[in-house]
Chains A and B, each alone.
Chain A
């Protein structure tokens, strides 16, 4: 039986984690309010074309939320100016001047895609033929990007750009880049069957359901070349292509290849813009800059502060299904927290 509670719950962030949390909170009889800094909801998923491993269109994942969030208060183009902890609740001051009193706060602030220009040796923003995974997804949507040639003879994918890299300030694995690279490689091969496609990886981490099958497809059905070696240098050739240098660590030989397009798999990194917010409510951050969960086994969505919860990638890299599952879990945690308080 549901508790009859009309308590307001603040959900910070309107990506899939925030939206799903709000939907579930609503279903549990609570009153969620979403505050989103961008002008529309959907976060990173809204910028993606199709999702692994079933090539599900991203729009299809987002579609149901229009209906489900109809009765939820949503503030877009709004940031949290500050959150103050009161005796039994929190008061959030929004950038639009409003103050929200709420019983609990769920942080669903998400991640940032690594800024690929920071790895200067890969030439993003310097060479005309270097794009990121997000740029490619936009291109799948719009088919307009000057950097993507009409008939590429060879395309390369660089895994782990800004992930597992202490020099980039991110030693964590981004979890989703390996499978995203395979997905995008397959999509490109479908569009350009005669194109040679190379994936440069350090380790292939294909842990999720159906991921390995996807990998087998890429190898067997699409003939994508997997080269175990991290790209270390990219140079521009006279004809405007890019030449990539790596070591094929399996044969122990250096490899060089000229490409018409190089796609950098920018990783999931923490959003430093949240640091101030976290500090205002004394929420600890992990060494990697993500929010620190109560523990990493049973308390992933909880924090060591009462009434503050986490959902999705604000606590570390996650896939879409993991994020959704966590959002539901966070909603339940909020519900149980309020129920315990009521007693």
Chain B
């Protein structure tokens, strides 16, 4: 899975205009999501990584950078096995992050 941070001007991330409602809602439900240090442990251990490019690290980054479509794609093969939760050095409840995003993806205002 290519995450393509190419340098063409059109692909620049405009931080002041992008939509991060989903990320903010997620952080309200699982505040641990904000503590990610992008170490990549979750991606490396992920059972679904080689199938859909799943990575909680990229998911959290994607939500903060307004790249929702990529988030949807990578989530499609997650098996909820919990390895990412086990290896996370910050103790983030990654399974809750995943389930919350899956639930609120189309309806950010939805309740849990």
Q: Which residues of A contact B (CB under 8 A)?
A: 121, 160, 164-168, 202-203, 228-233, 245-249, 252, 254-255
Chain A residue contacts of B82, Cβ below 8 A: none
Q: Is B90 an interface residue (CB 8 A)?
A: yes
CB 8 Å contact bits of B62-103 with A (1 = contact, 0 = none): 000000000000000000000000011111000000000000
Cα distance, A233 to B47, chains bound together (Å): 12
Given contacts A202-B37, A202-B39, A249-B38, contact A254 B44 (CB under 8 A): yes
Given contacts A167-B89, A247-B57, contact A233 B45 (CB under 8 A): yes
CB atoms of B91 and A249 under 8 A apart: no
13 pairs, A vs B, C-beta closer than 8 Å? A160-B89, A164-B37, A202-B39, A203-B37, A229-B39, A230-B40, A230-B41, A230-B44, A232-B41, A245-B44, A247-B43, A254-B44, A254-B49
Closest partner residue, chain B, to A229 (CB atom): B40
Given contacts A164-B37, A229-B39, A254-B50, contact A247 B91 (CB under 8 A): no
Q: Give the top 4 A-B pairs by smallest Cβ distance, nearest first.
A: A247-B40, A230-B39, A247-B43, A232-B45
Q: Whole-angstrom distance from the CB of A160 to the nearest CB of chain B?
A: 8
CB atoms of A233 and B44 under 8 A apart: yes
Q: Whole-angstrom distance from the CB of B3 to the nearest CB of chain A?
A: 4
Cα distance, A230 to B37, chains bound together (Å): 10
* Besides A167-B89, A232-B44, A246-B44, 11 other A-B contacts (C-beta < 8 A): A160-B89, A166-B90, A230-B39, A230-B41, A233-B45, A245-B45, A247-B41, A249-B40, A249-B43, A249-B57, A255-B44
Q: Which residues of B contact A (CB under 8 A)?
A: 1-3, 37-45, 49-50, 55, 57-58, 87-91
Cα distance, A252 to B49, chains bound together (Å): 11
CB atoms of B44 and A229 under 8 A apart: yes
Cα distance, A233 to B42, chains bound together (Å): 10
Cα distance, A203 to B43, chains bound together (Å): 17
CB atoms of B39 and A249 under 8 A apart: yes
Q: Whole-angstrom distance from the CB of A272 to the nearest CB of chain B?
A: 20
Closest partner residue, chain B, to A251 (CB atom): B3
Candidates B2, B3, B58, B87; contact of A232 at CB < 8 Å: B87
Closest partner residue, chain A, to B3 (CB atom): A252
CB atoms of A121 and B55 under 8 A apart: no
Q: Whole-angstrom distance from the CB of B90 to the nearest CB of chain A?
A: 6
Q: Whole-angstrom distance from the CB of A294 to the nearest CB of chain B?
A: 29
CB atoms of B91 and A167 under 8 A apart: yes
Q: Whole-angstrom distance from the CB of A250 to the nearest CB of chain B?
A: 9
Q: Whole-angstrom distance from the CB of A13 to the nearest CB of chain B?
A: 30
Cα distance, A238 to B58, chains bound together (Å): 33
Closest partner residue, chain A, to B41 (CB atom): A232
Q: Whole-angstrom distance from the CB of A266 to the nearest CB of chain B?
A: 15
Cα distance, A308 to B1, chains bound together (Å): 58
Closest partner residue, chain B, to A227 (CB atom): B40
Cα distance, A216 to B22, chains bound together (Å): 41
Q: Whole-angstrom distance from the CB of A52 to the nearest CB of chain B?
A: 24
Closest partner residue, chain B, to A168 (CB atom): B89
Q: Whole-angstrom distance from the CB of A5 to the nearest CB of chain B?
A: 49
Chain B residue contacts of A233, Cβ below 8 A: 44-45, 87
Given contacts A167-B91, A203-B37, A229-B39, contact A252 B44 (CB under 8 A): no
Closest partner residue, chain A, to B53 (CB atom): A252
CB atoms of B91 and A248 under 8 A apart: no
Closest partner residue, chain A, to B43 (CB atom): A247
Chain B residue contacts of A167, Cβ below 8 A: 88-89, 91
